[in-house]
Amino acid sequence: MNGKAVNLPGGKYRVVMRKQAMAASASSGLWVPVLSVVLALLFSSLFIAINGINPVPVFRTMAVGAFGSMNGISETLVKAIPLLLCGLGVSFAYRISIWNIGAEGQFIVGAIAATAVTVYLPGLPHWSYLPLMLLAGAVAGGLWGLMAAVPRTHFQVNELITSLMLNYIALLLLNYVVFGPWKDPQGFNFPGTPVFETWMQLATIGSGRLHLGLFLGLGAVLLYALIMNRMKWGYELRLLGANPEAARQSGISVTKQIWLVMLISGGLAGVAGMAEVSGVSHRLMYAISPGYGYTAIIVAWLAKLNPWGLIVSSVLCGAVIVGGYSVQMIGLPSSMSLILQGAILLFLIGGEQLRGYRLQWHRTGGE
């Protein structure tokens, strides 16, 4: 860019904004996610003020609703579990620059597959149901993710499109089973399956709804950190994400890695679906997900794919969801949380794009 000339003490200067070459693995530190959250709060404040309400009490109410009591903390962690597992799956794919937008669909098919175990396999030993449901959810989610990977590797079809379209197919499949063959005949026309038996439910922690799925998420994060930081495969994934051509030259099978990563990415989202039906709703029902798979994109970006950052960002997004329910008491819709989530993602993407630009001052007149 030629820039704009400005007069400053000592002479006339041109201000030039230039795009800097940056490595794919480069990190902008914490300033981008922190600044994005701050700007999102300011941006959301405008919508609150339009409704004639002071934004400060609104955000205070959200914080108290999410963290002001043991029940609030428990509910925040309940929301954080599927966000952590889906966000982890999304981060796995993003590590090699595969843009998996299909965590929502993978979550749903994982929930459907886990429920299928309870519907079609009656009479099994009680202890076998939870392992089988976990396996079914992981396999179904992984295969759903693989359905986006195969067109990418063999036909160069953008995985953004295929993974997103598969979300709608999964949602229609969910509607079919809960309104059709799996509908509870004793459910007063409610679109859902019968309530699971006790041995098909994940045990709770304490007196609230927090369940053992929390340890599934934390265990998956530990494994992710181990793979990416301590194992040769993690190095190969980082190399593939930074420079695919260099990865090919070093003998890494790009097709194989994409298939494997999407299988794991979808499998983690499928496990999240299993944990939700087994640990929270205790049945498969219409709208089992309020958009966990889409919010997981925010979780991954906010954490900058860091394993420990994923824990923090999933709790933060879980708090935004729970806090969104609390603001209804002061006259705002619970969708306020959706506005805040969207604003965070907007400023995150904007910050990531702008961080590669630098302002340069060039003195005119030959210097």
Summarised one tens digit per residue, pLDDT across range 239-270 is 998 888 888 998 999 999 999 999 999 999 99
For 4, counting Cβ atoms within 10 Å of its Cβ (0-12 exposed, 13-18 middle, 19+ buried), the class is: exposed
- Whether 67 has a pLDDT exceeding 90, the answer reads yes
How many alpha carbons lie under 13 Å from residue 73 in its C-beta half-sphere?
A: 7
Q: What is the structure's pLDDT at 197?
A: 96
Quick one: which of 256, 231, 228, 225 has its CA closest to 242? 228
Both tokens of 48, joined, read 């609150």
The yes-or-no verdict on residue 356 having pLDDT over 90 is no
Least confident span in 12-21, 95-104, 132-141, 205-214: 12-21
Band (34; pLDDT cuts 50, 70, 90): confident
Question: What is the spatial distance between Cα 335 and Cα 279, in angstroms, rounded to a whole number?
Answer: 25
Distance CA 324, CA 343 (A): 14
Q: What's the half-sphere exposure (Cβ side, CA atoms, 13 Å) at 279?
A: 28
Report the 10 Å Cβ neighbour count for 314.
31
Q: 147-169: b or e for each residue (b if 16 or more CB lie within 10 Å)?
A: bbbbebbeeeeebeebbbebbee
Alpha carbon distance, N-terminus to C-terminus of the chain:
17
Q: Which residue has the higher pLDDT, 54 or 360?
A: 54
User: Nearest-CA neighbor of 288 among 164, 175, 120?
Assistant: 175
CA atoms within 13 A on the CB side of 263: 8
Contact call for residues 215 and 223 (beta carbons, < 8 A):
no
Per the CB < 8 A criterion, the answer to whether 175 and 286 are in contact is yes
Tell me which amino acid residue 61 is: T
Mean pLDDT of 51-78: 91
Span 311-336, mean pLDDT? Answer: 85
Element spanning 189, H or E? none
| Helical spans, DSSP H, in the chain | 31-50, 55-67, 70-94, 103-120, 129-155, 159-179, 213-230, 232-242, 244-249, 254-276, 292-303, 307-326, 336-354
Q: Would you state the pLDDT for residue 33?
A: 81
DSSP character at residue 127 = G
Kindly report, residue by residue over 154-208, the tens digit of the pLDDT: 999 999 999 999 999 999 999 999 999 999 999 888 999 999 999 999 999 988 8
Is the Cβ–Cβ distance between 318 and 83 less than 8 Å?
yes
- Mean pLDDT for the stretch of residues 134-149: 98
Going by the DSSP 8-state scheme, the letter that residue 25 receives in this structure is: T
Read off the pTM: 0.88
The C-alpha angle with vertex 143 and arms to 82 and 317, in degrees rounded to 5, equals 15
Q: How many residues does the chain have?
A: 367
Q: What is the dihedral of CA 305, 307, 308, 314, to 10 degrees?
A: 70
> In a 3-state reduction of DSSP, which class is residue 289?
coil
pLDDT at residue 1 above 60?
no
Which of the residue ranges 36-45, 61-70, 125-134, 239-248 has the most confident prediction, judged by mean pLDDT? 125-134
Which two structure tokens, joined as six digits, stand for 94? Answer: 């993003």
Mean pLDDT over 7-18 rounds to 57
% of residues, the chain, pLDDT over 90:
63
| Distance of alpha carbon 10 from alpha carbon 13, whole angstroms | 9
pLDDT of residue 23: 38
CA distances for 270 relative to 170, 219, 265, 284, 353, angstroms:
12, 15, 9, 14, 31
